[in-house]
């Protein structure tokens, strides 16, 4: 009788099948969540890179709290950053190194993970990740902000130099028309459809003649489309930046999106903004023109009155207002709120 009682009770076949189905569904659910996070991370705009990394570190932290190694989210995050080819700023490089180092620790320390010292080391690694993330996030944000302090001169204009996004297309005109309504100084539009950074150098005499106090540079998109290399584009943009500085003009650089997932120019504008201490308008507003158009989701599912572009790239009247407001905000960070037209009227 005692032998019979000691034998384990075998579960009915139906219950075993149910448990197997639940297990498979749970695995499928985890795979689906993982796939959604990967897709979202690959499509993340450069301006939100730090928050994308925070999601992966948060996932790792949750796994550590459940006494699991949690190396997979860290490796996935590092791989995504390498695929996206973001600007190689010091903070981002340190973040990738930390992600790989902690994931390696998680793999090779699994034997002692449940012990007292193992748990202490695991949480110390988590803390180190979050500290590194904080440094990286601050560095990423600072790269897009100028530390220079400049005084507004109401007699000198803002010059906008760029391709068709600056020149504008009929019948909607250019974002510079809306910018002129938002700031308290004149705006000069030197945009030209299809222009490359090399061709923009030829506009330097007109730029000098305009005597700007700040130049908004939106160049490099057609360099990529016409097969010009990153090095040549970088050299042309740096030449433009130095020319502006020689005439006492500040530079606001607009970040150009050149790929949906990976950037073939590896964050060129963000790198230049950090190196030359420039104010950067992130590529978020230009990407919004694409996404809020009839040719991409979510714009293709929205009413046309909410579109920012009619052709999938160039701004319509609504898109021009979005671009103008982003540029005006960058100018306000550089010169202070007195450059805003509404501030001047107070």
Domain boundaries, the chain: 17-143, 158-344
Q: Which residues make beta-bridge pairs with 214?
A: 158, 250
The pLDDT of residue 198: 95
* Rounded average pLDDT over 148-159: 92
d(CA 72, CA 34): 10
Is the pLDDT reported for residue 52 higher than 80?
yes
The pLDDT of residue 177: 95
Tokens in use for 84?
């996206």
Is the pLDDT reported for residue 19 higher than 50?
yes
Do residues 234 and 196 lie in contact, with contact meaning Cβ atoms separated by under 8 Å? Answer: no
The pLDDT of residue 232: 96
Measured in degrees and rounded to the nearest 5, phi and psi for residue 283 equal: -75, 5
**Cβ-count burial 42-56 (b if 16+ within 10 Å, e if not):** eebbbbebbebbbeb
Beta carbons within 8 Å of 310's beta carbon, 6+ residues apart: 172, 293, 294, 316
Beta carbons within 8 Å of 187's beta carbon, 6+ residues apart: 157, 158, 159, 160, 176, 179, 180
The pLDDT of residue 4: 47
Is the pLDDT reported for residue 72 higher than 50?
yes
Q: How far is CA 224 from CA 191, 230, 233, 290, in A?
A: 18, 8, 9, 17
Three-state DSSP class for residue 183 = strand
Is the pLDDT reported for residue 344 higher than 60?
no
* Rounded average pLDDT over 12-36: 72
Beta carbons within 8 Å of 22's beta carbon, 6+ residues apart: none
Mean pLDDT (the chain, rounded):
89
- 282-328 pLDDT tens trace: 999 999 999 999 998 898 998 888 999 999 889 999 999 999 999 99
The pLDDT of residue 292: 93
Is the pLDDT reported for residue 133 higher than 90?
yes
Is the pLDDT reported for residue 212 higher than 50?
yes
The pLDDT of residue 111: 52
DSSP per position, 159-170: EEEESHHHH-BT
pTM for the predicted model, two decimal places: 0.87
Is the pLDDT reported for residue 32 higher than 90?
no
Q: Tell me: cis bond preceding 171? Omega within 30 of 0 counts.
A: yes
The residue with greater pLDDT, 159 or 24, is 159
CA 320 to chain centre: 21
Q: Which CATH superfamily is domain 158-344 in?
A: SGNH hydrolase (3.40.50.1110)
Measured in degrees and rounded to the nearest 5, phi and psi for residue 145 equal: -125, 135
d(CA 146, CA 169): 31
**At 190, is the pLDDT very low, low, confident or very high (cuts 50, 70, 90)?**
very high
- 216-252 pLDDT tens trace: 999 999 999 999 999 999 999 999 999 999 999 999 9
* Rounded average pLDDT over 101-126: 77
């Amino acid at each position: 009788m005692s032998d019979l009682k000691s034998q384990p009770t075998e579960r009915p076949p139906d219950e075993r099948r149910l448990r197997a189905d639940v297990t498979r569904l749970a695995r499928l659910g985890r795979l689906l969540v993982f796939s959604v996070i990967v897709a979202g991370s690959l499509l993340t705009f450069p301006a939100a890179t730090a928050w994308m990394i925070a999601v992966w570190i948060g996932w790792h932290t949750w796994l550590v709290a459940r006494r699991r190694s949690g190396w997979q989210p860290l490796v996935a995050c590092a791989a995504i950053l390498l695929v996206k080819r973001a600007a190689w700023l010091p903070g981002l490089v340190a973040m990738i190194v930390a992600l790989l180092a902690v994931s390696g620790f998680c793999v090779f320390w699994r034997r002692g993970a449940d012990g007292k010292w193992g748990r202490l080391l695991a949480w110390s690694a988590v803390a180190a990740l979050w500290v590194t993330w904080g440094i990286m996030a601050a560095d990423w944000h600072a790269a897009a902000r100028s530390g220079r302090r400049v005084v507004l001169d109401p007699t000198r204009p803002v010059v906008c130099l760029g391709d068709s996004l600056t020149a504008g297309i009929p019948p909607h005109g250019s974002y510079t028309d809306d910018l002129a309504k938002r700031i308290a100084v004149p705006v000069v539009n030197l945009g030209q459809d299809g222009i490359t950074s090399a061709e923009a150098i030829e506009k330097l005499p007109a730029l000098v003649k305009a005597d700007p106090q700040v130049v908004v540079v939106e160049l490099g998109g057609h360099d990529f489309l016409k097969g010009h290399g990153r090095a040549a584009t970088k050299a042309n943009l740096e030449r433009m930046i130095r020319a502006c500085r020689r005439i006492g003009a500040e530079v606001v650089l607009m970040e150009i999106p050149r790929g949906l997932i990976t950037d073939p120019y590896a964050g060129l504008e963000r790198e230049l903004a950090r190196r030359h201490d420039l104010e950067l308008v992130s590529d978020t507003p230009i990407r919004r023109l694409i996404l809020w158009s009839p040719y991409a989701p979510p714009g293709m599912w929205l009413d046309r009155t909410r579109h920012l572009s009619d052709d999938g790239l160039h701004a319509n009247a609504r898109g021009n207002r979005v671009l103008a407001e982003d540029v005006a905000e960058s100018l306000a960070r550089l010169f202070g709120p007195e450059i805003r037209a509404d501030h001047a009227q107070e």
